[in-house]
Amino acid sequence: MFVDQVKINIKAGNGGNGIVAFRREKYVPNGGPAGGDGGRGGDVILKVDPGLRTLMDFRYRHKFKAESGKNGMNKQMTGRSAEDLVIMVPGGTIVRDLTTGRVIGDLTENGQELVLAKGGRGGRGNMHFANPRNPAPEIAENGEPGEELELQLELKVLADVGLLGFPSVGKSTLLSVVTSAKPKIAEYHFTTLVPNLGMVQLDDGRDFVIADIPGLIEGASQGVGLGFEFLRHVERTRVLLHLVDMSGLTEADPFTNFEQINAELEKYNPDLIKRRQIIVPTKMDLPGADEQLAEFEKKVRADERYRDFEIFPISSITHEGLSKLISRTADVLESTPQPTVVKDNSADSTDKTYEFNADKDFEIDNEDGVWVIKGAKIEKLFKMTDTTHDESLLRFARQMRGMGIDDELRRLGARNGDSVQILDFVFEFVE
């Protein structure tokens, strides 16, 4: 089974908690603060593994979580940082944020790494909060929460040459003849359901990767048939061999089929129609193929869009024209650069610039008589507050006051004794 698109959830490790501790040494009855810091949480990293060809490993596992850092210790000792979580993916994987639709990265090189989620820093121990006014603070921070993302991984096959054409025009047969690949071949549509790769090696030492990709039909750019599965992989190729059936066994006009496929390419991604194409008339060993080819070539040369396209008729059965086609393809590849393949049609594809606005740091709603405070910044501050010590809670109260939350609650009508909630923690509002 070939898997080329999956959705996963990743969570970086939380930082370890700082602790409240004091020196306990002989002859030092009132030792100072000695609480150590927590360790850093592990990052989540994607790395290209040259041995992988599919996203099959993600079919049954969708959640990935890095380890959290260890808590701080006495005697000002920092907790151990967690190991990063490295997830292996095949080359050609595009990573997209499901929330925004933004493309995060495009992994194409062997060994290439992409840090997707940063682990949280360790919380500070009470040794950092000592001052002349409070030489023995009972204040410590919890570790910073690790980042969490919903992602889509999309695999686009990395090949130099893509075989283009309607179903059953001979793409798989050609691949089997010019490479050692053994694709499934049969005389019915959509025999090829997944991309097949093969290596073509020429006598002069040149080589290239060729891909037999599922056949295309009219409406593929809207997902008809195997449209998206096909077109997704075509984007990776540098040169397209456009196979056209000349057998005359179907009533369809070869030139009409040729035009339909190019139209689908342009609808899906206008850049694809600009990709270098070589027209390959197939099944030239069958009766009547020469007449079909002559009529087809006349229509191609009469159309200004295609008149400069090279035409190399072949027969995969008799091997007629194969050596010329392969040699010319290698020549074209030498002068054809690698295309830019990331295509982002999302409306929210660009990075947003956020301006500082204190009013956006939090939101306050009244839900059934309870004032509920929400917002990424205030929730993060609360998660890093050690609620087991009163001094840490008082510090958090000062942070809320500094953000203007107290003033906003009064403006909205909060009264002394009203319940205020942040996440799962509920406390009383005090004027």
- Give the residue, 180 or 262, on which the prediction is more confident: 262
344 belongs to a structural domain: no
Domain span at residue 225? 161-334
- 374: domain CATH number? 3.30.300.350
Long-range contacts of 129-133 (CB under 8 A, 24+ apart): 129/33, 130/32, 130/33
Looking at the fold, whether 319 and 246 belong to one and the same domain comes out as yes
Choose between 326 and 3: higher pLDDT: 326
**Average pLDDT, stretch 32-57?**
88
Is the pLDDT higher at 210 or at 64?
64
Same domain, 147 and 44: yes
- pLDDT at residue 349 tops 60: no
Which H or E run contains 380?
helix 376-383
> Which of 298, 318, 334 marks a domain boundary?
334
Same domain, 95 and 165: no
Residue 343 in domain: no
Measured CA to CA in angstroms, residue 55 lies from 6, 29, 111, 340 at distances of 7, 61, 16, 22
Can you give the CATH number for the domain in which 255 is found?
A: 3.40.50.300
Instruction: Tell me the C-alpha to C-alpha distance, in Å, between residue 418 and each of 195, 369, 424.
Output: 63, 8, 16
In the predicted structure, residue 355 carries a pLDDT above the cut 60: no
Mean pLDDT of 203-213: 80
65 belongs to a structural domain: yes
pLDDT at 148 over 60: yes
Supply angle C-alpha 24, 28, 30, rounded to 5. Answer: 75
**How much is the pLDDT for 358?**
41
Which position has the higher pLDDT, 213 or 40?
40
Query: Does pLDDT of 153 surpass 70?
Result: yes
Does 157 have pLDDT greater than 70? no
* Same domain, residue pair 174 and 49: no
| pLDDT reported for residue 340 | 59
Residues 280 and 230 in one domain: yes
Low-confidence winner among 84-93, 233-242, 414-423 (lowest mean pLDDT)? 233-242
Whether residues 200 and 309 fall in one domain: yes
Would the pLDDT of 190 be above 80? no
Give the span between the Cα atoms of 381 and 400, in whole angstroms: 9
Backbone phi, then psi, for 260, in 5-degree steps? -60, -45
- Nearest CA to 286 among 255, 245, 334? 245
**Predicted pLDDT of residue 233:** 65
DSSP helix/strand/coil, 128: helix
Over residues 156-165, mean pLDDT: 78
CA 173/CA 191 separation, integer angstroms: 11
Would you say residue 180 has pLDDT above 50? Answer: yes
For residues 186 and 147, membership in a common domain is answered with: no
Q: What is the rounded average pLDDT of the residues 302-321?
A: 90
Helix ranges restricted to H, 218-253 = 227-234
How far is residue 364's CA from residue 407's CA, in Å, rounded to a whole number? 12
Residue 36 in tokens: 């150590």
166 shares a domain with 140 = no
Q: Which of 155, 177, 196 lies at the terminal end of a domain, its last residue?
A: 155
Determine the pLDDT at residue 214.
64
Q: pLDDT tens digit string along 46-95?
A: 999 887 777 878 878 899 999 999 999 988 899 999 999 999 998 888 89
The predicted pLDDT at position 201 comes to 80
In a domain, 188, yes or no: yes
Cα separations in angstroms, 426 against 159, 273, 372, 387:
58, 60, 9, 12
Residue 221: is its pLDDT beyond 60? no
Residue 347 is predicted with a pLDDT of: 36
Long-range contacts of 178-187 (CB under 8 A, 24+ apart): 178/210, 178/322, 178/326, 179/210, 181/212, 183/212
Percentage of residues in the chain having pLDDT higher than 90: 29
Are 102 and 50 within one domain?
yes
CA dihedral of 95, 101, 102, 104, whole degrees rounded to 10: -20
- The arithmetic mean of pLDDT across residues 6-19, rounded, is 94
Instruction: For residue 216, give the nearest of 257, 186, 266 by alpha carbon.
Output: 257
The residue whose two tokens read 């009163």 is 390
Q: Which pLDDT score is estimated for 142? A: 93
Q: What is the pLDDT of residues 384-412, one digit of tens each?
A: 998 888 888 889 889 888 888 888 888 88
Q: Among 106, 134, 155, which residue terminates a domain?
A: 155
* Residue 196 C-alpha from the chain's centroid: 22
Q: How many CB atoms lie within 10 A of CB 39?
A: 26
What is the per-residue pLDDT for 262?
A: 86
pTM over 0.85: no
Confidence of residue 184 (pLDDT cuts 50, 70, 90): very low
How many domains in the chain?
3
Q: Distances in Å between the alpha carbon of 141 and those of 31, 138, 228?
A: 21, 10, 49
Q: What is the rounded distance in angstroms from the CA atom of residue 83 to the CA atom of residue 43?
A: 8
Claim to verify: residue 285 and residue 216 sit in the same structural domain: yes
Q: Is residue 329 one of the residues assigned to a domain?
A: yes
pLDDT at position 230 is: 59
- Beta strands (DSSP E) in 93-238 are 93-97, 103-107, 113-117, 148-155, 161-164, 196-201, 207-212
Q: Are 389 and 329 within one domain? A: no
- In this structure, the answer to whether residues 22 and 108 fall within a common structural domain is yes
**Average pLDDT estimate for 260-288:** 86
Q: What is the mean pLDDT of residues 9-20?
A: 94
- Give the pLDDT score at 360: 61
Top-ranked range on mean pLDDT: pick from 49-53, 323-327, 346-350: 323-327
Radius of gyration, alpha carbons of the chain: 32
Whole-Å CA distances, 93 to 1, 7, 47, 102: 17, 13, 10, 14
